[in-house]
Structure 1
Amino acid sequence: MSGQLKDIATELAEVLWREHTVYRDRAGGVVIRGEHVQRWISLAPSAGRDEVLLRAGRILEGGTTAPARSEAVAGLSAGTGELAAVCRLLLAETAAGPTAAGPAPRRSRSSKRRPRPARRGRHTSPASWLVVVGVVAVLGLYMARATGRV
């Protein structure tokens, strides 16, 4: 598995960055370093047979690596193009994170929400006003019937 990871990492590194370094880490995974973008990606065997754990992080001043800021599990059968897309997503999340040293809190895919746009002008839409008018009309008819006027 580690030989296969090294080959996949080498192909992936050529797709991601022109300048890169690929090496094995202590845990048996493979790391791709992009010094010019101050980022790294690691590939490690996952619990699944055909899966790999991808992690992304920053390279700090002096060349040391910060802890992973984002991670994902991907299938090796997906191909280099799809693995590169997952890696780019992780790198984007890493770049968007806070600059302070230390790991960012992990979030699952389901907990990510899009930010709501700022409200401008009216707070109540015309459709909401139609609902309010309809409810008032129904209540008015009910009250008129209850008092015997209709």
Structure 2
Amino acid sequence: MSAELREAAEELADLLWREHTVYRDRSGGVVIRGEHVQRWISMSTGAGRDEVLLRAGRILDGGTTAPARSEAVASLSAGTTALAAVCRRLLAETAPGPAAPPPARTRRNRRTRHTSLRSWLVVACVAAVIGLYLARMS
């Protein structure tokens, strides 16, 4: 299965990216790295005989890999184009979202409340409880 997995990964890498690196990971799976797109795909044997677990993630600055953001199980016998379609979907899910706009600065009114109404209610309730306790003690 490992030779079949490696061969499928090489064909898949050629379909996905023109620049790529294919290597074996510690668990016996195969990893395809696309440095120019800052993404990676890993393939490992799945639960079934013909199944592969596909995982996708990002490559961080400095070349380290982030944990997988998405994963799917696919049939190895479905063919390289079907695997490529699944991988493209996973890679799209790993794409970083649009950058959030910086928070808008609001002008603060000169007369701001330092203590909210809720805080005053809590202080009043605590004072009432202490007052009742002292009244019962005497």
Length-normalised TM-score, structure 2 = 0.69
What is aligned with 2:31? 31
What is aligned with 1:52? 52
Tell me how far apart the structure 2 counterparts of residues 79 and 96 of structure 1 sit (CA, whole Å).
29
Tell me how far apart the structure 2 counterparts of residues 3 and 25 of structure 1 sit (CA, whole Å).
14
Tell me how far apart the structure 2 counterparts of residues 29 and 83 of structure 1 sit (CA, whole Å).
15
How far off its partner does 1:41 sit? 0.1
CA RMSD of aligned residues (A): 1.3
What is aligned with 1:79? 79
Q: Does 1:17 align with 2:17?
A: yes
Tell me how far apart the structure 2 counterparts of residues 48 and 98 of structure 1 sit (CA, whole Å).
37
SS at match of 1:27: coil
Taking a change above 3 Å as real, the CA distance of residues 36 and 45 of structure 1, as seen in their structure-2 partners, is same
Q: Is there any run of 5+ residues in structure 2 with no aligned partner, and where?
A: 100-138
Taking a change above 3 Å as real, the CA distance of residues 97 and 78 of structure 1, as seen in their structure-2 partners, is farther
Moved over 2 A (4+): 96-99
Tell me how far apart the structure 1 counterparts of residues 48 and 16 of structure 2 sit (CA, whole Å).
25
The aligned length equals: 99
Query: 1:115-130, aligned counterparts within 5 Å?
Result: none
Tell me how far apart the structure 2 counterparts of residues 72 and 95 of structure 1 sit (CA, whole Å).
16
Could you tell me the percent identity over the aligned residues?
80
What is aligned with 2:130? none
Q: Is there any run of 5+ residues in structure 1 with no aligned partner, and where?
A: 100-150
Rg bigger for which structure?
Answer: 2
